[in-house]
Amino acid sequence: MKTRSDETRIVTATKKDIPLIREFILELAEYERALPGEAPVTEKDLADTLFGKRPAAEVLIAYLGDRPAGFALFFHNYSTWLGKRGIYLEDLFVRPAARKHGVGFALLRALAKIAMDRDCGRVDWSVLNWNELAIDFYKQIGAKAMDDWTSFRLTGDTLAQIAGRKSKVK
């Protein structure tokens, strides 16, 4: 899949893009103020989960000219109320030098086209409360904040405890 927005080109990632995808993930983790080691993702992890037997997610890569500028990683969810699949945008990241050039919008537009082509009922994502730049951008394009919802997460030792298993976290 390829779309163009001025000089921005959006492509569907392939296995050869794994090192670049990992770079984007680590840059995003740094931007989101993650502590060292909080994003231990490896190229093998990405090969297995994105391009293995049962891919868990898909990735779009944005190029500004011929330079990698950003990425969007997404997967399908399901809405019982709509009775349709949706898309959950796990990560949207644009490198600082590429911001204000329409790259983020081009990625969202490509994702919206995928959602429409696949008869999805909606696209959802989360944003950190302190990321006012992103929040302002999302509001500007017409996205609605889901203020009545609070996100929760089980991970690490707590996830293992709830599952009745020993933690794999060291």
Q: Give the active site residues.
A: 138
b/e code 6-22 from CB counts within 10 Å (16+ = b): eebbbbebeeebbeebb
The whole-angstrom separation of Cα 162 and Cα 159 is 5
The whole-angstrom separation of Cα 24 and Cα 44 is 15
The whole-angstrom separation of Cα 68 and Cα 110 is 16
Torsion of CA 23, 25, 27, 30, to 10 degrees: -140
Using DSSP's 3-state secondary structure scheme, residue 74 falls into strand
